[in-house]
Structure 1
């Protein structure tokens, strides 16, 4: 990739972020000239940078956005809410194009031209009201280009599928009052449009009141529709009445990234700005390591010349101690180099939340706040996916529609909070909303109806453990599938993604007052303590912070229960699973009189024992998260290298057990 383009892909997202933050703040302070200047400078800088490359689509959108902000800056016009909406959509599209450039190495998607024309038309509509829509030269647009509220309303009401398309065609058809006399059927005509996504019919606003005498020979209808077909194909049924239609290309607001990798995790070159003093420290450490390496070479030469073994052993111990100190300092220095601030990532979400809410007809503001916490770059990038899930759930399930909020005595516009802080050596991120909260009784009914947990067990579970059921794979209380959620995917993905980063998720909620989801994560890739166990000839690691204790149980204490096994531990019956069953591997050979070795873990509030072959010791390791196809595999936290060069897979036992349960096996242990 060209060095100039690499630098642009580092600085471009920062300019987009500055413009987006200023535009969002302008909604609350529309007369703030400083915010207008900030947005204008960011867009102007972006446009100038884009001019260095062959990116006409991006340049066109940024040029018109700059013109619009320039007109507001000079006092030639005021920015309406609708104009700000389109400017925010333009910054969001610019961000998506930057992500695409990072993947392709410098090429925009094939539909970039269509998307740019649609956005540019909408922006120009606020500069020159009444401008004809491109592609509709056979007729004049009945309303100014800025009048897209009817399109947005139709999208929210009917066309959630339209969000899958980068551009759709919107058409408003106002038939002539005498069309019935000519044998025309306006509804059938509109239904002939290909690839319909939404369809709405209503009476014209200027039609006589319904109480007046009805004229069956006069048409007073208006038809509005959305189609996935291009403009020219949509216009075909109306080729004989071009003066009765309004046609425009329109970009649906994005509900946020789909389930999957973060845009910051896309393949391709990624930049990291590093303070020069940290690089200087790293260089100095490398110099000292070179000295330590030469000292080992000198020792090897002296041993070859007959150095006494006891003297050689003492010198080797001194050299090893020096290497330990240097490697420890090197690890800390490299860890510090990878630290990046978390708040810039969080500030990407207000625009996304705004678009999510608009897509389903709600109003919500995201307030980002917190300390200047720094964390490892890999951890910060890995947060994008789980936070997107949480914010999507807060908008769709958490906050109520405006009418319901007003009836409950709440502000019409919902408030969602996203804060970051630190507790000791851990980072804490909280997502809060002031919505309807989560009803434990409703979760109990849903869990019982779906057979997630037996009804008798549900009745005995305390409310906090009932709330934890929402993290079960596929569990959802949504009554309908929407453009944002309701497909049974979300909270389990949050827990899995945070778990891969070495963190945990907590949840608390109050009915009628709102919900808070709390993420606790490490600040950097610190050393993790693992218990190494064997299954047959293979070795696996278990995070020690998830192991309550290890036990040895004589086999006569292990009793069969239904399809599984259990034993009594301190007056408590504990189900016993076999790690070989969880991993679908052959079990270890059992010797006569040999005790069962097991680790005790807690899953969904209950104690479970997992049988292993042998305990091989405890180790401090640097855990590397899974990548590629294995990233989505349940039960795997990551990998590390052992001192003998062997690869150790670190397991997530609760995740493995949940996957077994989801596949239809009994939680009582073993395979049925």
Structure 2
């Protein structure tokens, strides 16, 4: 691929993401000066970039969008909802054309017609349509008032506006006391709710006529619980540090083509980084081999064994530092991988005649490249399922007394060593009884086993291959594929998925993925005289119990752990061996569909950090095998996939 084109594909998609981020703010706050500036800069730069290629239709569309944003930027026009729809449609089409350019090397033959159709829609701004400039919205005015307080601030802020209704005092509410409890407060202003304080004669002492605005360093998630009792009276808006800087700069009308900072960015081919990660994995294996040498040396020369262990400790520290450095290099923002989701949500919802508001937060979270590459596919399946099956159509939402616009939220955050991705909708939820009925009809469970199936296990049935509750097949879903693909993709990423659903209120899928994809922490176990490795993130706990604590339940065995009855299964028998029958019984507790399951093993051995390679060849057809790893003595050890073992 031509180097200039390759650079354009990267930067063009970054600019599209920047424009969409600005549009998301402008949809709610059309007068936000910083967001208008950001959108203008992205469109202006993108127009210059497409001019380097045979993309005249794209340049034409972007020129019109730039003209409209320029007028809004000069306060000569306020952006309307129709304007925003046109801007979003323009950027969506540019996004499609960039994909075409990468795939085919040129735009499609209908590009000019598409540009003509979009340009003939009501324009973003024409001289005859100019409207009187309106004042800055509350956020812009707040940032303008508090320039001195926020100048030099280099952390993300959250702006809030709390406008209690007139009867707040009669209900015993104390708005000032509530605001006083907010964490991370940077600035607070008390203002008249309707723009001006009432006159002395018109003042009603027991009527609340104020609004409270402010800035805080706390997150939106941390602030929202404080306003849970007044959900319709507050607004929260993240204000990134660079947006604050844009608000307080002296020359807000400066053109965007200014010299960039001196930060140096080195672009390295991804394959080279992967090769470096493989090398680090090899060093980990070599380091583990020293432990084996030390054990052999103990019987021959104890001082030599001590020296080997000292060398191993030094090497482990160096390899650990190298692993952390390579892991940092492999970290990439999720934003490029997820950039198409907002457009696809609009397209899917439009094809089904549904009005859906999509909010995505945390997309700038940095994850390992392997996670970023593999996350889009399962998320797309979940999004399709939520739009088609989860969120009701307009008539259904009216019957349920819900807003006509459905809500779909994607939130991403870092939690310890995990990346947590949550997709939530406010749709109809999942009817567990209906799931059980369909599962029985498809032979996935027996009618007798229905009563003993927990809610978590019932919800997990939607991931079974071929399972579908759809009455009809649509272009979006309903063929019984998709959710099993989600489970398979998450398994490949060594993650797990959880479901929480309330009928009539909505469904939440939570994906937990490892932050580090180079090495995996493993526990070596012994089963029927063979050794296997199990990833630590698939182990809930390991316990030893006396044999008399195991009691027969139905056709199997169980024991009570932490006041809960847990089924006990022999891992040796599952793998085709014979259970040793040793006492005390050693149990490895994992989870099946959210419920704990204890596996009987013969022993627990060392912990190690190792590179796990996907199964290939004959092993690829063995469902219980999640991969292989090289041991210090050169032996290959099978890594078990606990989701398949107990699934």
Q: Normalising to structure 1: TM-score of the pair?
A: 0.58
| 1: CA distance, partners of 2:431 / 2:501 | 8
Query: For each residue in 1:162-197, what CA deviation from the matched residue of structure 2 results, as whole angstroms up to 9, or x when unmatched?
Result: xxxxxxxxxxxxxxxxxxxxxxxxxxxxxxxxxxxx
Change in 2 beyond 3 A, CA 1:46/1:388: same
Query: How is 1:11-50 mapped onto 2 (pairs within 5 angstroms)?
Result: 11-29=11-29, 35=35, 37-50=37-50
Aligned to 2:182: none
Contact 2:50–2:59 under 8 Å retained in 1: no
Equivalent-residue separation in structure 2 for 1:580 and 1:591 (angstroms): 6
Q: Pick which of 442-451 and 25-34 moved more.
A: 25-34
The alpha carbon displacement at 1:65 in A equals 1.3
1:338-375 CA-to-partner distances (Å, cap 9, x unmatched) read 22344665565323222221111001111223496432
8 Å contact kept, 2:426–2:505: yes
2:65/2:90 contact within 8 Å kept: no
Secondary structure of the 2:499 match is strand
Q: Is the 8 A contact 1:26 1:36 kept in 2?
A: yes
Match of 1:69 in 2: 65
The answer to whether the aligner puts 1:119 opposite 2:114 as a matched pair is yes
Aligned partner of 1:423 among 415, 433, 437:
415
Alpha-carbon distance, 1:643 to partner: 1.6
RMSD: 4.7
Inter-partner Cα distance in structure 1 for 2:336 and 2:459: 31
Contact 1:535–1:580 under 8 Å retained in 2 = no
Alpha-carbon distance between aligned partners in 2 of 1:444 and 1:118, rounded to the nearest angstrom: 50
Distance change >3 Å, CA 440–CA 376, structure 1 → 2: same
CA separation in 2, counterparts of 1:7 and 1:460?
57
Q: How does 1:576-595 map to 2 (within 5 A)?
A: 587=576
Question: In the aligned structure 2, how far is the partner of 1:606 from the partner of 1:315?
Answer: 47
Q: Does the CA-based 8 Å contact 2:39-2:69 persist in structure 1?
A: no
1:333 is aligned to: 325
Q: Report the Cα offset of residue 438 of structure 1.
A: 1.6
Partner Cα separation in structure 1 for residue 365 and residue 70 of structure 2:
38
Greater mean deviation of Cα atoms: 415-424 or 314-323: 314-323
Aligned residue for 2:605, secondary structure, equals strand
Mark the structure with the bigger radius of gyration: 1
SS of structure 1 residue aligned to 2:354: coil
1:145-156 aligned at under 5 Å gives the runs none
Q: Partners in 2 of 1:116 and 1:403 — Cα distance?
A: 36
State the SS of the aligned residue for 1:335.
helix
The answer to whether residue 634 in structure 2 is matched with residue 642 in structure 1 is: no
Offset of residue 502 of structure 1: 2.6
Q: CA deviation at 1:477?
A: 1.7
Summarize deviations over 1:138-158 as a string: whole Å, max 9, x none.
Answer: xxxxxxxxxxxxxxxxxxxxx
Q: What secondary structure sits across from 2:108 in the alignment?
A: helix
Query: Could you say which residue in structure 2 is the equivalent of 1:5?
Result: 5
Map 1:247-258; keep pairs closer than 5 Å. none
Q: Which residue number corresponds to residue 466 of structure 1?
A: 458
Contact kept? 2:588, 2:600, Cα under 8 Å: yes
Alpha-carbon separation, structure 2, partners of 1:631 and 1:93? 40
SS of the counterpart of 1:521? strand
**Distance in 2 between the 1:510 and 1:425 partners?**
29
C-alpha separation between the residues in 1 aligned to 2:348 and 2:86? Answer: 15
Q: Which moved more, 1:492-501 or 1:20-29?
A: 20-29
Picking from 505, 526, 530, the partner of 2:497 is 505
Stretches of structure 2 lacking an aligned partner (at least 5 in a row): 125-264, 291-299
SS at match of 1:114: coil
The 2-side partners of 1:574 and 1:37 are apart by 60
- Which residue of the other structure, out of 635, 647, 652, is the alignment partner of 2:641? 652
The alignment partner of 1:323 has SS state of helix
Q: Is the 8 A contact 1:405 1:411 kept in 2?
A: yes
Please say if 1:494 is aligned against 2:486: yes
Rounded to whole Å, the distance in 2 between the matches of 1:69 and 1:558 is 72
SS of the aligned residue for 1:46 comes to helix
Aligned with residue 108 of structure 1, among 99, 102, 105: 105
1:336 and 1:28 mapped to 2: Cα distance? 36
Separation of aligned partners in 1, 2:567 and 2:25: 56
Q: Which residue of 2 aligns with 1:222?
A: none
Once the two structures are superposed, what CA deviation does each residue of 1:464-483 show, in whole Å capped at 9, x if it has no partner?
Answer: 43223223232222222222
Distance 1:524 1:113, change over 3 A: same
- Measure, in 2, the Cα distance between the counterparts of 1:427 and 1:61: 40
Matched, 1:617 2:605: yes
Moved more, 440-449 or 566-575: 566-575
Offset from partner CA, 1:585-613 (integer Å, 9 cap, x none): xx56x79999999966543467767788x
Alignment of 1:33-182 (within 5 A): 35=35, 37-52=37-52, 55-56=53-54, 59-73=55-69, 75=71, 85=85, 87-99=87-99, 107-108=104-105, 112-126=107-121
Taking the aligned partners of 1:573 and 1:71, their CA distance within structure 2 comes to 66
Contact in 2 for aligned 1:60/1:116 (Cα 8 Å) = no
Q: How many Å separate the matches in 2 of 1:23 and 1:633?
A: 48
Task: Give the match for residue 374 of structure 1.
Answer: 366
- Aligned partner of 1:626 in structure 2 is 614
After superposition, the Cα gap between the structure-2 partners of 1:32 and 1:319, relative to the gap in structure 1 and judged at 3 Å, is closer
Aligned residues: 470
CA distance in 1, matches of 2:637, 2:621: 18
Cα distance 1:12–1:337, how it changes in 2: closer, same or farther (>3 A)? same
Q: 1:466 to 1:272 in 2, by over 3 A?
A: farther
User: Is residue 2:540 matched to residue 1:525?
Assistant: no
Taking the aligned partners of 2:595 and 2:569, their CA distance within structure 1 comes to: 12
The equivalent residue for 1:364 is 356
Contact 2:360 2:410 in 1 (8 A): yes
Matched, 1:388 2:376: no
Deviation at 1:568?
Answer: 6.5
Cα contact 1:339–1:524 (8 A) shared by 2: no
Q: 1:598 to 1:322 in 2, by over 3 A?
A: closer
Cα 1:320/1:472, change in 2 over 3 Å: same
Shift of 1:47: 3.5
What TM-score do the two structures reach when normalised by structure 2?
A: 0.60
Q: Given the superposition, is the C-alpha separation of residues 627 and 349 from structure 1 closer, same or farther in structure 2, using an over 3 Å criterion?
A: farther
